[in-house]
Structure 1
Amino acid sequence: MGWQKTFTLNRRPKGCHLVTEEVLTHIRPGLEGVKIGMLYLFIQHTSAALTINENYDPDMDMALDKIVPESLDWVHTDEGHEVSHTKTSLMGTSICVPITDGRLNLGTWQGIYLTEFRHAPHQRRVVATVL
């Protein structure tokens, strides 16, 4: 049997934000009683992404800005989010985490990050599926 919930993360400005605890507040009911399973998280946006990284990494946003700088000669400028869309494609819109005995089986230093690529703070919808 599967479990699914769509929830909204708090507004955050551009940057990489550790959201593990916020995600857990929304998905705890879906973890209950799961001996062995998988959590799939999917963000329903094209200018933000989800990733797993060290639960303290202040340099990730700077590195992404170096890889995909706003100063490139962008052709798609209608929405003004071409940098964001490119970073989202590189980072990805989904992650999966094993579940063991009702808990996320992350590594000791791993955490779930929202990587927000737009400068203005936005709320972001995430679909969580437990199988």
Structure 2
Amino acid sequence: MYQYSLETPQEGFVDITGQVQKAVRDSGINEGTALVFVPHTTAAVTINENADPDVLHDLRLALTELTPKLPYRHGEGNSPAHLKSSLFGCSQLVPIVNGKLALGTWQGIYFCEFDGPRRRNFQVVVQGR
């Protein structure tokens, strides 16, 4: 298992594709899968377009609309962050082909911060042959 740390913004997306690819390269695995896991309840991981930054802007805008300010009961006041984390999920599984992540042309892997800024962690587990 490979563990990484990062400093996150207040809310937003951090491209972690390079770190995940490094874990694959360091593992020596040529065919298999890479599991990316985020061990936080107000953060997540997603795969989406990495060519046009407007896509990430639009995702943030839509998430704000999907998680409005309501009379939530959670005492910390960050219920929208928990909801966003659940909508995206805490893991992604990516195929490895010829020692590289088999992502689409425009895809990148993003750490999603919904309750920052914080020092966060994510893990990469590489399996295969």
Fold in common (TM above 0.5):
yes
Measured after TM superposition, the shift of residue 73 of structure 1 is 1.9
Shift of 1:16: 2.2
Alignment partner, residue 63 of structure 1 = 62
d(CA) in 2 for partners of 1:27 and 1:123? 23
**Equivalent of 1:128 in 118, 124, 127:** 124
- Percent identity of paired positions between Structure 1 and Structure 2: 39
RMSD (CA atoms): 1.6
Q: Amino acid of the residue matched to residue 45 of structure 1?
A: H
Give yes or no for the alignment of 1:84 onto 2:81: yes
Normalized per residue, which structure has more helix?
A: 2
d(CA) in 2 for partners of 1:26, 1:67: 34
Q: Does 1:45 align with 2:44?
A: no
Q: TM-score, normalised by structure 2?
A: 0.86
Residues 1-131 of structure 1 mapped to structure 2, 5 A cutoff: 4-30=1-27, 32=28, 34-55=29-50, 56=52, 57=55, 58-69=57-68, 71-76=69-74, 78-118=75-115, 120-131=116-127
**How far off its partner does 1:17 sit?**
2.6
1:112 positional shift = 0.5
* Structure 2: gaps spanning 5 or more residues: none
Runs of 4+ in 1 over 6 A off after TM superposition: none
TM-score by length of 1: 0.85
Q: 1:26 to 1:37 in 2, by over 3 A?
A: closer
Deviations 1:21-78 (A, max 9, x none): 2443455312x2x221000010010011000011132311111111112x122121x2
**What residue ranges of structure 1 are gaps of 5+ in the alignment?**
none
Q: When the two structures are aligned, how many residues end up with a matched partner?
A: 123
Distance 1:37 1:83 in 2: 35
